[in-house]
Structure formats: structure tokens, C-alpha cells
Structure 1
């Protein structure tokens, strides 16, 4: 199954926070559609970030190139304005355009505490989470959007990556005060950007994957992608999970859509866009995790993905 209808050859993308997880999946699928993809992050072959994970921006860039695009790794801390300015300046000098900006910087897995009220949550960790999850996106938008807006032909796309749809997050408490605030802030960021970019010919959306089989998630369950279903024995609802390539194909489909402006300012999910554009996950399935959560998991029904993937 192709990544998305249409080709992105000649288009330039920046995936901010593309080292692993959804960011890596998005970068690779943009590459599979022919795009030149700048992959930024803090984890490099020479030095790990505070995550202390083995994945690097160089690896992601190599995967982009192997998929058919051109992957360009750039080590960048998106909290540091001078580093983001240097990154965007390099894209301008080398390409003269920026068609797609994906804001996927996160960095909070080890910083939030499940169901801990704000007065019991570690304050330093909570504030660090907000900086990584929200401030990085604001800094990157401030510096990169002028280049995106002057791209020849216009029609640039900004994708704000989050966890949860606007509808779901408004109705449900998400993990902790700080996690909830971070993910809801990014949703609102896409809404605000839609108002600012739409009249100028560009489009902004918020996008969430479902239950993502990221490197860290697979590791937490003690499985690999090849045997991920074994984790369903312990957590049956994990059966609705999806690969990072699935949300990657969603971004590639949006970027190739000449009528993408119809989504401006909206909150979208990988499952929703799979129905719209006709792409599948790597195994040929089409998981719809957020509908499944509302209709099956949250009401406490037995795990059954029939009709949901």
C-alpha cells in the first residue's frame, strides 16, 4: 500500500522531534512519498539526550533515504532559539522553501506521574514537561513559519502532533494535570495557527495517533514489532494499537492533498484520515483507536477490535 495518494517529490519537510516514535514514522513516510526531510532532535550518534535512548536523528534520516526520499539529520534542541534559527536558516539556504512542518517534539515520558494531583506531582518535572511539550512548538513555529509562508506556490502545511482528539480530551482527564495541560495546549495551538495561517494560504492541523507501538511502548511490554500481539495476553486492548508508520501515512496523505485547507484548524486522528484517504497500517489493517476507546475500552467492554481495524 503506498504511503499516500500523490507524490511529494520536490517538497521539503521538517520533522521536529523525529528521532523515534511517531516522528520517525512520519519522517520515513514523507520520504517514501519522495520528500526531502530534515529530521531534528537531540539524540545523535555522538551523544544521547536526557532520554538516554539508542535511537538517533542520523538513523531516522537514513531510513528516510532508504524509503525513497532524502533524509537530512540535524541535531537541534528546540528550546534553544539560536539552534532553531540555525536549523531554519540552513533549510532556507539549502532548499529555499519549507512545505511541511511537523511539530512532534515531546520528551515527557519520564516526567509525568499517573493520576498524581498537581500538589503531589513533582513540580520540576511537570514544568520541564510543559517546556518540552509546548514551548518547543511555540519556538519552532515562531522561527519556521515565515519560511513556510513564503514557499513558492504557497499552501504550506503545519502538523501539531499531540495525544488525543479535541473531543476526547475535552471529555476526559488525561493522566495528570501537566500531561493534560500539555496535550490540550497543542490542540489549541493548531486551532490558533489555523486562524493565523489560513488567511495567508497555509493550513494547520492537530493530529493524534492511536495507541502507538513506539520503540518505548514495545520495550515496556517486553515485545518487538514482530511479536507485538503477545502483549495482548497481558493487556487485551493493546490489540487496537498501530505502528508509527500509520500516522506517518496520515501526514503524507495530508501533505499530498491539494484540498488540505478543508482541514484547517481541526483536530484529526490517524484512524479518521485512514478512512478519508484509504491508506492502511503496515499489516493492511485500518485501526480506529479513538472510536474504540470511546465505544469499547472506556465503557469496560471486553477487548474486541471487530469493526475497529
Structure 2
């Protein structure tokens, strides 16, 4: 119950990574606000609901509070933070996770469209991916910072992905993720004097409901192969809990962190007791690239240094 008495907010937590993070924060004893839209076609297919997540948070030892919020609507977002401030007068942890671009991104990438070929108008396509994502991350961070700066403490975690440093799906997706990473770095500079940390988290491969469904259907052999050693959504939840409890987390402020690397640093495992491989492990990278025979010969302890990963995203 390391986070007993703490107030947290996880956006987009009815399922997937957001749900896993919210549940683990609850297991650590926190009061956890979770958001999601009241209904969506995707939710009907994949299952899961805000109420179910809130109930599980409470069952794990925390207090789950579900708030219906469409993060595409600025006024609803503002009211969400006003509610938290009214109810508790504080916010200790914000996890920016809500993202509406997955379905359109995967659909368009399957169709093989280039960025000028999408059916939607350019501005509309941008908003479909980055309005509930990059833009909303910034808005939520600004509202959260007002409470955290006042309290002289706090943690903002922005969920991003390796699409930020290499082309993934389409340019708009990768542009948004790269901008999230930069947003963390630059907002961290403003927050540093106030003892508020802002950290980017790359969960890596995660067995979300949609991925599990694809694996069960056998409809995408590539995904089935690449997600053999993927972590559960709660693996990233344990990473966020450990970040929140870290008295030296300001040293990580503005930086990109990876769930599997944090697991080794802090000494936690996934909920099944396993230690997942890091996307920085050379054998993992070789395996994904298709060099299975070479991958099997490389020891697990050989990692690609962070500066080499950073060079992937460098255009100098």
C-alpha cells in the first residue's frame, strides 16, 4: 500500500494499458480516477468498461472512481480536473494514456495508404490520431501541473511508443509520438524547480484485449510471433507505481523510460512472475528483424545502448 492516500488519474482506462496501470495504482492503495467515453463500437467488441475497472481497483485495495469523459472535448476535460480538485484538492499522479488513433491507424496501415492518400481530409486525419493523444496530453498536463506545482510534488507519465523514433504505421502516428516525447522533455524543464517530474514511458509489446483477440483468431501471424514474449498491461502499471514511489524520480524527469528496463532497475516482475525481455536486447531486435538463427545465438545480457536508439530518431 505504498501509495495509500495518493490521488491519481489515468486517462483512457476502461481497457488495455490504461486499465493495467490503474489497477496497479489501486493495488498500491491509491485513489484512482479513471476516464473513458460512455460507449464506443470498439468497447462493444473488445469488452471492458469503466465501472469494471473501477470495481477492480477497489477490490485490489484502492478506491476506483470512474468519470465519463470524452478527451476530444476540452470542456469535459476541464470539468474532470475541477472535480478532482474539488473532491481532494490535490493530484499526485497523472498518466496520460487516452488515445483514439489506434483503430484508424491500424486500418489505414493495412490499406497501405501514404499520407496524401487517406480518404479523410488531412486536418481531419491528423485530429483522428492526435487530438485524443498529443493535444489532450498537453491539456491534461497543464491542468494537472496547476495542482502539482502548488503542492510542490507530483508525477506526470506520458505513454508513448517506439513509433517516436522510427516510422510506424503512418507519418501522423509517428509525428504524434515523437512530439509526446519532446513535450515530456520540455514541460519537465518548467516543472523541475517545483519538484514535479514528467516522464515518458514506452510499454513495449503489450497483450491488450485487441492483441489477444488477434492472436486467438490467428488472423495475423506476424503479430502472433512478435507478441510471444509481450507483457501484460499490469506490467506497465507496476512500472508507474515504482516511478511514483521513487524518491529520486526527478533524475528521470524529461527522459524516456522503458517498462522492461524499469523492471530490472526496480526489481519487479510481471503479474505472472516473469521478467519480460527489453526491446533494447540485441537478440530481441534481431528476432523482430527476422534473423531468428542469429537471435538465438546472442546472450540476453547484450543491450543496445540508449544513445544508439536515440540516433534512430536523429536527422542530423
Tell me the TM-score range normalised by the shorter chain.
Answer: 0.7 to 0.9
Corresponding residue to 1:217 among 208, 211, 218: 211
2:19 partner SS: helix
Kindly state the Cα deviation for residue 247 of structure 1 after the two structures are TM-superposed: 0.4
* Corresponding residue for residue 132 of structure 1: 132
Any residues of structure 2 matched to 1:80-95 within 5 Å, and which?
A: 80-95=73-88
* Corresponding residue for residue 297 of structure 1: 288
Using the size of structure 1 for normalisation, the TM-score is 0.86
Matched, 1:14 2:9: yes
2:42 partner SS: coil
* Alpha-carbon RMSD: 2.3
Q: Which has the higher contact order (CA 8 A, sep 6+)?
A: 1
Using the size of structure 2 for normalisation, the TM-score is 0.84
Tell me whether 279-288 or 32-41 shows the greater mean CA deviation: 279-288
After superposition, what is the alpha-carbon deviation per residue over 1:198-222, rounded to whole angstroms, capped at 9, x for unaligned?
A: 1221000000111110011111222
Task: Determine the C-alpha separation between the residues in 2 that align with 1:139 and 1:122.
Answer: 28
Does the 8 Å contact 1:203/1:264 carry over to 2? yes
* Corresponding residue for residue 142 of structure 1: 142
Kindly state the Cα deviation for residue 86 of structure 1 after the two structures are TM-superposed: 1.3
Runs of 4+ in 1 over 4 A off after TM superposition: 231-234, 302-306
Count of matched residue pairs: 287
2:95 partner SS: strand
After superposition, what is the alpha-carbon deviation per residue over 1:154-179, rounded to whole angstroms, capped at 9, x for unaligned?
A: 32000000112xxx743x21121111
1:8 partner SS: coil
Tell me whether 272-281 or 193-202 shows the greater mean CA deviation: 193-202
Does the 8 Å contact 2:28/2:61 carry over to 1? yes
Task: Determine the C-alpha separation between the residues in 2 that align with 1:81 and 1:264.
Answer: 26
Does the 8 Å contact 2:12/2:98 carry over to 1? yes
* Corresponding residue for residue 310 of structure 2: none
Does the 8 Å contact 2:16/2:233 carry over to 1? yes
Task: Determine the C-alpha separation between the residues in 1 that align with 2:148 and 2:286.
Answer: 39
Does the 8 Å contact 1:118/1:176 carry over to 2? yes
Task: Determine the C-alpha separation between the residues in 1 that align with 2:118 and 2:194.
Answer: 41
Task: Determine the C-alpha separation between the residues in 2 that align with 1:81 and 1:119.
Answer: 28
Task: Determine the C-alpha separation between the residues in 2 that align with 1:134 and 1:118.
Answer: 18
Tell me whether 80-89 or 67-76 shows the greater mean CA deviation: 80-89
> Structure 1 residues 52 and 7 mapped into 2: Cα distance closer, same or farther (>3 Å)?
closer
Corresponding residue to 2:153 among 149, 155, 158: 155
Any residues of structure 2 matched to 1:1-309 within 5 Å, and which?
A: 7-42=2-37, 44=38, 48-49=39-40, 51-53=42-44, 54-112=47-105, 113-114=108-109, 115-123=112-120, 124-151=124-151, 154-164=152-162, 169-170=164-165, 172-222=166-216, 235-292=224-281, 293-298=284-289, 300-302=291-293, 307=300
1:268 partner SS: strand
After superposition, what is the alpha-carbon deviation per residue over 1:264-305, rounded to whole angstroms, capped at 9, x for unaligned?
A: 100011001001100001121111341244343126335759
After superposition, what is the alpha-carbon deviation per residue over 1:44-84, rounded to whole angstroms, capped at 9, x for unaligned?
A: 3xxx1253433211111111111110000000112222211
